[in-house]
């Protein structure tokens, strides 16, 4: 029985090879005839397959997987535990033509109705769409969307990606990044969800849950402690079990509990001496045994380093090739080195995930992407994610009735907005698939979006390359808006957190020329701001996505009241972070590089995360270091007050308080709840334990009650290998940021 991809491949070959001069219309008729003929020929087989025991939808995913497992040959089992390559990764595989042009794919078992797994990198939108001549929506970057602190936005984010995956012929996302921001210069910070495990885990879990609701396999990555890109294939992340469980792994634990992802992607780095993809502690002891994760573990691309060790540790699927999980695995099974039961467990987990996510019962049906719907979703998420960092003299929102001229300066603002690079990069429309380390600006001109808001006023543009010209333009304008960017990408780390090039000098010169200067930052992580005291306003817009320009204009002119808050601390300088410089790998010989290419390399250097529990704001609090902007910070065009705190203990602790909009505009406040633990816990001064968004009209008050998960008040006892809530006094704190917590109340817990 031919799979639909085999049929499509045959159709393409007939159109492109057998009939090179055939018209598009004739090719379509031929395709229809071909499909009709094959469908008629396969009708009896499909009818028989429909009666197969594992096609009974009343059975659980586990029961259906067990039934299929009994039907598989050894070769079919092996085909399910490895990839078939990806475009540009090594020599093409024999089955490469059956792929969908994405990051990779796993063969299906057509005779049993088991579909191919077609994978796409989809961190902030479906990648490789240009390979298929298709379009993808670029959503705001993950760390940007995390600034919304909004589970509903996270759900909309995932649902959109899930729909566009299926429309383009994919049924698995490789997004779902949740590595904490231990190292803010990490080139992939923009792909993740910030520095706090409760915030990050909650948001990624809701994304995955709604992604998988579209009948695609969800993924959470990079498991774990993959906190820098420098030497990622050879770095050993050295960290205590307690620190890992209360920080990086807690984010994964929360995300998995909420999202129930089909897959977990293990990371490139080693953890305490063993590579993550062959690390029994993280893959089996914690993930599969303690957390009862029922899905499968796949390696990051080229992250598999062994056959027997990786299999025993809990790696279920090698990507994107079959260096260790192809013939080598089969021979190990035949020799008895790997038990058949161990192979069966890998296969069963993969099959179970396919049934769980609905891949078997809901085959892919290609369709046209809802472009306008995607634009609307991307814009709304960006509007709730923009963070207003400074607003001196209430320069914002801009007053349409008094402004006569605006200078728009810098960073391609006449054309578009920058996006993050690497495997997360969404193909921009009309450009084709970008090169790996290519700077990509998505169309959507901030200059035009601003001009549309205030048609009578002249909007003049300067690229900012000539600083004197830009300053002169600012001097003759009522308002100067400077767009700046900091580009980051997979495969690299930043040397520092400064805006690159002459952008700091540009901002300073423009601000000297015009005190009403507003800076709009597109960045993938924190930036330092030596010019902060000179400017009137600052917006952090992150990588804003397909309709970022419209979202920014809506916030600048007050059509949207900003509500975003920082999901990560902005330090004063790199000297204040736990590791003043990013630890670099040592220089290597050519022989070592040759070994590395085989995948058998060993860690060659270590990063010791001696700060342990002190990630992000917990580090700055404990070290009493001042920061540029604290975690959870964000301004609004209105003001909020907090009152009336009440805390209850027992088995289900909760906190109740009232939030009031004390200003003159409707807005949404993100209320944050932190806890300090008893001194015996030896914990950071405080930790986030709950949060919510509260929409309020001017003068309106709302009483809020938030339940607090007892685990968020507990510590991980490394000796006993369990979570413990220590008896003693706990202080609950409520407010608008980690540095502004006007309500406090202590409570004793047992």
Catalytic residue positions, numbered: 300
Dihedral, CA of residue 198, residue 204, residue 209 and residue 213, to nearest 10? 160
Instruction: For helices 548-556 and 371-385, give the axis angle rounded to 10 degrees.
Output: 40
Does an H or E element contain 237, and which? strand 235-238
- Rounded CA-CA distance 511/401 in Å is 23
Beta bridge mates, 485: 522
- Rounded CA-CA distance 518/535 in Å is 6
Q: In 10 A of CB 589, how many CB atoms?
A: 8
39: phi then psi, degrees, rounded to nearest 5: -60, -45
Dihedral, CA of residue 507, residue 512, residue 513 and residue 518, to nearest 10? 50
- Rounded CA-CA distance 610/600 in Å is 28
Beta bridge mates, 109: 114
Longest dimension (CA), the chain: 82
Cis peptide before 231 (omega within 30 of 0): no
CA contacts within 13 A on the Cβ side of 614:
17
Signed CA dihedral, 383, 384, 387, 392: sign only: positive
CB 196 within 8 A of CB 688: yes
Signed CA dihedral, 132, 138, 143, 148: sign only: negative
DSSP 282: I
- Rounded CA-CA distance 167/666 in Å is 38
Token pair, residue 588, equals 């290597």
Token pair, residue 738, equals 């980690």
- Note the helical H segments in 494-641: 503-513, 548-556, 590-597, 617-623
Q: Are strands 219-223 and 263-266 parallel, antiparallel or unpaired?
A: parallel
Q: Of 251, 226, 276, 261, which Cα lies nearest the Cα of 490?
A: 226
- Rounded CA-CA distance 614/22 in Å is 65
Instruction: For helices 548-556 and 446-453, give the axis angle rounded to 10 degrees.
Output: 40
Does an H or E element contain 388, and which? strand 387-391
- Rounded CA-CA distance 717/81 in Å is 36
3-state secondary structure 395-434: CCCCCCCCCCCEEEECCCCCCEEECCEHHHCCCCCCCCCC
CB 514 within 8 A of CB 462: no
Alpha-carbon distances, residue 296 vs 61, 266, 318 (angstroms):
13, 10, 11
Cis peptide before 182 (omega within 30 of 0): no
- Rounded CA-CA distance 106/317 in Å is 9
CB 122 within 8 A of CB 191: no
């Amino acid at each position: 029985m031919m799979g639909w991809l085999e049929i499509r491949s045959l159709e393409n070959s007939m159109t492109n090879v057998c009939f090179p001069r055939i018209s598009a219309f004739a090719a379509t008729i031929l395709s229809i005839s071909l499909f009709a003929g094959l469908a008629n020929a396969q009708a009896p087989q499909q009818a028989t397959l429909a009666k197969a025991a594992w096609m009974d939808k009343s059975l659980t995913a586990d029961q259906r997987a067990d039934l299929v497992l009994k039907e598989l040959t050894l070769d079919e089992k092996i085909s399910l535990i490895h990839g078939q390559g990806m475009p540009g990764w090594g020599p093409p595989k024999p089955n490469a033509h059956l792929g969908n042009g994405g990051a990779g794919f796993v063969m299906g078992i057509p005779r049993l109705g088991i579909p191919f797994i077609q994978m796409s990198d989809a961190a902030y939108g479906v990648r490789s769409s240009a390979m298929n001549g298709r379009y993808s929506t670029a959503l705001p970057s993950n760390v940007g969307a995390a600034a919304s602190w909004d589970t509903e936005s996270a759900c909309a984010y995932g649902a959109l990606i899930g729909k566009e995956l299926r429309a383009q012929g994919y049924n698995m996302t490789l997004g779902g990044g949740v590595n904490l921001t231990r190292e803010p210069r990490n080139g992939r910070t923009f792909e993740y969800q910030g520095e706090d495990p409760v915030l990050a885990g909650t948001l990624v879990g809701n994304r995955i849950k709604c992604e998988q609701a579209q009948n695609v396999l969800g993924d959470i990555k990079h498991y774990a402690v993959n906190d820098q890109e420098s030497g990622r294939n050879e770095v050993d992340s050295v960290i205590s079990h307690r620190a890992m469980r209360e920080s990086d792994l807690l984010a994964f634990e929360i995300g998995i509990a909420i999202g129930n992802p089909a897959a977990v992607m293990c990371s490139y780095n080693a953890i305490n001496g063993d590579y993550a993809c062959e690390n029994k502690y993280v893959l089996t002891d914690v993930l599969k045994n303690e957390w009862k994760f029922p899905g499968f573990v796949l390696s990051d691309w080229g992250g598999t380093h062994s056959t027997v060790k990786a299999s025993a540790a809990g790696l279920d699927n090698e990507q994107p090739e079959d260096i260790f999980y192809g013939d080598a695995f089969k021979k190990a099974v035949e020799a008895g080195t790997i038990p058949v039961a161990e192979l069966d467990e890998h296969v069963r987990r993969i099959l179970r995930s396919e049934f769980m996510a609905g891949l078997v019962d809901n085959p892919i049906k290609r369709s046209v992407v809802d472009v306008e719907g995607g634009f609307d979703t991307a814009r709304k998420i960006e509007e709730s994610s923009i963070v207003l960092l400074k607003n001196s003299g209430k320069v914002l929102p801009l007053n349409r009735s008094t402004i006569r001229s605006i200078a728009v300066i810098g960073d391609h603002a006449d054309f578009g907005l920058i996006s993050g690079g690497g495997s997360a990069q969404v193909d921009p429309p009309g450009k084709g698939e970008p090169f790996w380390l290519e700077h990509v600006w998505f169309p959507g001109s901030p200059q035009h979006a601003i001009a549309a808001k205030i048609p009578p006023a002249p909007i003049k543009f300067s690229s900012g390359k000539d600083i004197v010209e830009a300053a002169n333009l600012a001097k003759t304008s009522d308002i100067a808006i400077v767009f700046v960017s900091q580009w980051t990408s997979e495969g690299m780390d930043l040397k520092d957190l400064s805006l690159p090039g002459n952008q700091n000098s540009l901002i300073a010169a423009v601000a000297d020329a015009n005190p009403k200067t507003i800076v709009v930052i597109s960045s993938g992580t924190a930036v330092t701001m030596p010019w902060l005291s000179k400017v009137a306003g600052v917006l952090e817009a992150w990588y804003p996505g397909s309709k970022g320009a419209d979202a920014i204009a809506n916030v600048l002119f007050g059509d949207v009241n900003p509500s975003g808050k920082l999901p990560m601390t902005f330090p004063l300088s790199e000297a204040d972070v736990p590791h003043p410089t990013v630890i670099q790998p040592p220089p290597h010989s050519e022989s070592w590089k040759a070994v590395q290419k085989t995948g058998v390399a060993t860690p060659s250097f270590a990063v010791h995360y001696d700060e342990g529990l002190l990630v992000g704001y917990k580090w700055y609090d404990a070290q009493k270091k001042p920061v540029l902007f604290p975690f959870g910070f964000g301004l609004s065009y209105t003001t909020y007050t907090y009152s009336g705190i009440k805390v209850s203990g027992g088995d289900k602790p909760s906190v109740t308080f009232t939030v009031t909009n004390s200003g003159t505009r409707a807005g949404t406040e993100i209320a944050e709840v932190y806890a300090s633990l008893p001194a015996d816990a030896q914990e950071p001064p405080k930790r986030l334990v709950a949060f919510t968004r509260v929409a309020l009209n001017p003068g309106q008050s709302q009483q809020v009650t938030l339940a607090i998960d007892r685990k968020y008040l507990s510590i991980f006892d490394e000796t006993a290998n369990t979570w413990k809530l220590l008896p003693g006094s706990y202080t609950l704190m409520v407010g608008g940021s980690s540095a502004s917590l006007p309500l406090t109340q202590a409570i004793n817990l047992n």
